[in-house]
Chains A and B, each alone.
Chain A
Amino acid sequence: MQGSDRFAAFRSPVGRMVPLVAMGLIWQAVSATKLIDPSFLPSPLRIGHAMVDLLTGREICDNLFVTLARAAIGLALGSAAGVWLGLMMARSPKFRAYAAPIVGGTYSLPKSALIPLFILWFGIGTATTVCAVFLSCLLPMVVNTFQGVASTPRVLVWGAQALGARPREMLWQVFLPHALPDILTGLRVALGFSFVLAISSEMIASTNGIGKLIFMYGENGAYDYMFAAIACVVVVAFVIDRLLLLLTQKCLRWHESATERGPA
C-alpha cells in the first residue's frame, strides 16, 4: 500500500522524533521572532538552560521523588482495594447490590473536586495527596476488575471444578487470571490518574512535591523553570507508562492480543 509507505519513516524510533523536533523548531521560531512575548512563552533554548540548571541541583530530584512516592502509595492502595472491590462485586450479588449504585454515582465525579474536603480532613501534606490519588485509582480498577471477573466463561469455572479446584483456588487460578488483561488495562488508566491527582493536589495542598514546585515557578514568573519542571514530569511519566506496557506484554504472553511467535 502506497499510502502507508509514505509514513514508514515516521514509525522508526528516530522517525518518531521528527514531529517533536519540528514542534521545538516552530516554538523556537515563534519565541525568537517575538510573535508571542517570550516572558510568557520562553524559548526551548532558555528552557533547556533552565533544565540543565535544575538537573545539576537537588531540588527537582527531591521533589519528584516525593511526588512519585505519594503517587505510588496511592496507586498501590487504590489498585489493591479496587481489585478486591471489583472481585467482590463480580462474585457476590448481594455485595454488588450495595456497591454498584455507589460506583455508578461516583464514577464520573472528577476526584480533584474532593481535594478541598481532604484538606479539611487531613490538612496540607502527604495524606491529602495520597487520598486523592487513592480515590482516582480506585474506580478504574473496580470497573475493570469487575468486568474481567464477571465475564469469566462458565465452562472455565466448571472445567476447573471438574478437575478438583476448591472455591478458594478458583479465585487465584481462574477468576483473577481471567481478569488480568482487564486489570492491567485499568492499571494503565489508574497510573495516568495518579500523576494528574498527585500533581494537582500538590499544587493546592502541599509544601513540597513537583506539583508545588511547578506552581511556585509559575507564581514567581520563572516560566522557563516551570516548563523545565513540566518537561521532567513528562519524561518520567512517559518512561513509567512504557515500563508498565512492557510489564503488561510480559504478563499477557498467553493472551489473544499478544504478538504471534511465528509458525510452529
Chain B
Amino acid sequence: MRAVTDEKAIVPKIQIQAVSKSYPGDKNPVLALRTVDLSINEGEFVSIVGPSGCGKSTLLYVLGGFLEADGKVLVDGKAIQGPGTDRGVVFQEYALFPWLTVRNNILYGLERGALAPEERARIADRLIGVIGLKGFEDRYPRELSGGMKQRVAIARTLACDPAILLLDEPFGALDAQTREVMQDELLRIWLETRKTVLMITHDVNEAVYLSNRICVMSARPGQIVEEFKIDLDRTIPRERLFTSDAFNKTRNEVWISVRQQALAAEKLNARV
C-alpha cells in the first residue's frame, strides 16, 4: 500500500468504521448497510456508486448525522454528534426553503454563524455571482429551473464554508446538458477550495470525471466491494478527457463492477 501519510494528513478527515444500519421492516428489520468501512483524507473527492437501493444514500445520511447507526463515524478523529455545519449537505431534491428568496436561502446558514451582517451580505453577493444568478436574488425557488435551484443549494452550503461536502446525487434530477455544466462548476469549485467531498451518484461517468477515488457498493445490505483510484489530469477540457483512453479504460472498469452488483441485486430480488 502506498503511504498516504507522508504529508500532514495523519488522521483521515472522515473515518467510517464498521457502520451498520437497519430499518424496521414489516416482519424483520431490513439491513441497509453492513459493516461499512471507509476512510477519506482531507481534500479527497470520493464517490460512492452502486445499484439503486443499495443504501448509499443511507451512508451519507449517517455521515451527515441525520440517522443513527451502529459503528463509529469520526470526523477529524472525533465522533460526530448529530448534524453539524462542518459537514455541508446538498440533496438531490435541492431542499431549498421555498418561502425564502435566493438571497435569504444563501444567508440562512450564515445567519447562524458569528459573522457581522455586512460580511454575510458580502459572502452572499459573491456566491450569487459565482453561481451566475445575479438579478435573481429576490426570486423564490418556485421561479427557478432545476439547475438554478441546485446552484442555489450548492451556494447555500458553500456559504457556511464547511470543511466537508456531502453530495447526495446532486445532479440526479437535472437534464443531461445542465448536469454537465453543473459537474464542471463543481469540479472548478473543488479544484479551487480542495474541500473533502463524499458524493453519492449512480452516474459512472460523473464519478470518474470528478473523483479521486470511487467506491462500489453491493446491493442491499450495502457493503463497499471494490475501490478504484482515479488518476486523471483534471486540467484538460471535458471533451478531451472523455475521449481519452485513460478515461474510458477507468470508466469501463468501474461500470463493469457496478453492473456486476446490479445483476447480483436483480438475481437476489428474483429469488425473494
Contact = CB atoms under 8 A, between A and B. Distances in A.
Interface size class of B (residues with CB under 8 A): 20 to 34
A164 B160 contact: yes
B109 A163 contact: yes
B85 A162 contact: yes
Top-5 shortest CB links A-B = A163-B109, A164-B112, A159-B95, A161-B83, A155-B95
A155 B91 contact: yes
Contacts of B160: 163-164
Given A163-B160, A177-B97, 10 more contacts: A153-B93, A153-B95, A155-B91, A158-B66, A163-B108, A174-B97, A177-B99, A180-B99, A254-B142, A261-B143
Contacts of B99: 177-178, 180, 254-255
Given A153-B95, A155-B95, A162 B143 contact: no
B140 A162 contact: no
Interface in B126-185: 135-136, 139-143, 156-157, 160
Given A156-B97, A163-B160, A264 B143 contact: yes
B98 interface: yes
A178 to B, nearest CB: 8
A253 B139 CA distance: 10
Which of B83, B99, B135, B140: most chain A Cβ within 10 A? B99
B254 interface: no
25 contacts: A155-B93, A155-B95, A156-B97, A158-B61, A158-B95, A159-B96, A162-B65, A162-B66, A162-B85, A162-B87, A162-B89, A163-B112, A163-B157, A164-B113, A164-B160, A165-B112, A169-B112, A173-B97, A174-B97, A178-B99, A254-B100, A254-B142, A255-B98, A256-B142, A264-B139
A158 B142 contact: no
B87 A255 contact: no
A36 interface: no
Interface of B: 61, 64-66, 82-85, 87-89, 91, 93, 95-101, 108-109, 112-113, 135-136, 139-143, 156-157, 160
Interface of A: 153-156, 158-165, 169, 173-174, 177-178, 180, 253-256, 258, 260-261, 264
B153 to A, nearest CB: 8
Contacts of A161: 65-66, 82-83
- Majority secondary structure of chain B interface residues (helix, strand, loop or mixed): loop
Which of A154, A159, A178, A264 has the largest count of B CB atoms less than 10 A from its CB?
Answer: A159
Contacts of B112: 163-165, 169
B168 to A, nearest CB: 9
Contacts of B100: 254
A163 B85 contact: yes
A177 B104 CA distance: 14
B98 A162 contact: no
B109 to A, nearest CB: 4
Contacts of A177: 97, 99
A158 B83 contact: yes
A160 to B, nearest CB: 8
Contacts of B157: 162-163
A218 to B, nearest CB: 47
